[in-house]
Amino acid sequence: ETGVTQTPRHLVMGMTNKKSLKCEQHLGHNAMYWYKQSAKKPLELMFVYSLEERVENNSVPSRFSPECPNSSHLFLHLHTLQPEDSALYLCASSQDLAKNIQYFGAGTRLSVL
Amino acid sequence: AQSVTQLGSHVSVSEGALVLLRCNYSSSVPPYLFWYVQYPNQGLQLLLKYTSAATLVKGINGFEAEFKKSETSFHLTKPSAHMSDAAEYFCAVSESGGSNYKLTFGKGTLLTVNP
């Protein structure tokens, strides 16, 4: 049973839709991460939050908008996406930024039509 | 910036055979090194982590990895493959210093175990 839960597990959206991905961690961690996993490519770090403050934005297009209302929840708001944004989006958490063992959720499989 | 190379995007072994998954990194400073496993439709799960305490690191499910600084390698091994080991395996390296939360992942190696 993972301590990091992501919803929904699957999402299909059109290029004009607005949707949100949700991540919740039950581990008492202070740092949370969004990654993009595309076929045949390494995981790409998108955003990092520590104590609800964004500490990393890895040149991610503005059509992806993260939100961290508290240390247990992380959202990724999506709007006007492109087909090349179709991927598995993984959320992870760690105790803090110094403790770099990251615990991953099962991901949201996103398809942009 | 760090980089990680995993040799072989797909490795196939017979059940009971040795598993060897290769990982090389580029760094002038010994970093933290990780192996993660991803089972179908699941997130990544930590197998083991190198922290400079010992060059041979034992992980879960019978896996271990050996850090070789001279070869900048961190290969993952398991003496005897089990059907349940079929999954994708990712090697990762952290940045040094205050950015060690940033992990650079390899492209992954898909392990197939044949009966």
Q: What is the pLDDT of residue A2?
A: 61
| Sequence-separated (6 or more) residues with CB below 8 Å from residue B33 | B23, B25, B49, B50, B65, B67, B74, B91, B92, B93, B94
Q: What mean pLDDT do residues A8-15 have?
A: 94
Confidence of residue A1 (pLDDT cuts 50, 70, 90): very low
User: Do A101 and B46 count as a contact with CB atoms less than 8 A apart?
Assistant: yes
Confidence check: pLDDT of B27 > 80: no
Among the partner-chain residues A31, A45, A105, the one whose CB lies closest to the CB of B43 is A105
B82: which 2 tokens? 């089990």
On whether any CB of chain A is under 8 Å from the CB of B42, the answer is: yes
Q: How many CB pairs under 8 A join A and B?
A: 56
Q: What is the pLDDT of residue B28?
A: 66
Identify each DSSP E strand in chain B by its residue range. 3-5, 10-14, 19-21, 24-26, 33-38, 44-50, 56-58, 64-68, 73-78, 87-94, 103-105, 109-114
Pair B39, B85: CB distance under 8 Å: no
CA–CA distance, B88 with A28 (Å, rounded to integer): 28
Q: What is the pLDDT of residue B53?
A: 76
Q: What is the pLDDT of residue B31?
A: 73
- Please write the tens of the pLDDT for every residue from B95-112: 877 778 889 999 999 999
Question: In chain A, what residues touch B32 (CB-CB under 8 Å)?
Answer: 100
Q: What mean pLDDT do residues B79-104 have?
A: 90
**Interface with A, mutate which of B44, B93, B109 (most A CBs under 10 A):** B44
- Please write the tens of the pLDDT for every residue from A20-70: 999 999 999 999 999 999 988 899 999 999 999 999 888 899 999 999 999
- Please write the tens of the pLDDT for every residue from B37-51: 999 888 999 999 998
Confidence of residue A105 (pLDDT cuts 50, 70, 90): very high
On whether any CB of chain A is under 8 Å from the CB of B104, the answer is: yes
Distance from CA of B41 to the nearest CA of A (A): 7
Name the residue of chain B whose CA is nearest to A95's CA. B101
- Please write the tens of the pLDDT for every residue from A70-98: 999 999 999 999 999 999 999 999 999 88
B87: which 2 tokens? 């999954």
Among the partner-chain residues A48, A100, A105, the one whose CB lies closest to the CB of B94 is A100
Confidence of residue B89 (pLDDT cuts 50, 70, 90): very high
CA–CA distance, B110 with B7 (Å, rounded to integer): 11
CA–CA distance, B94 with A25 (Å, rounded to integer): 22
Among the partner-chain residues A2, A31, A41, the one whose CB lies closest to the CB of B101 is A31
User: Do A104 and B45 count as a contact with CB atoms less than 8 A apart?
Assistant: yes
Pair B92, B85: CB distance under 8 Å: no
- The SS3 assignment for A110 reads strand
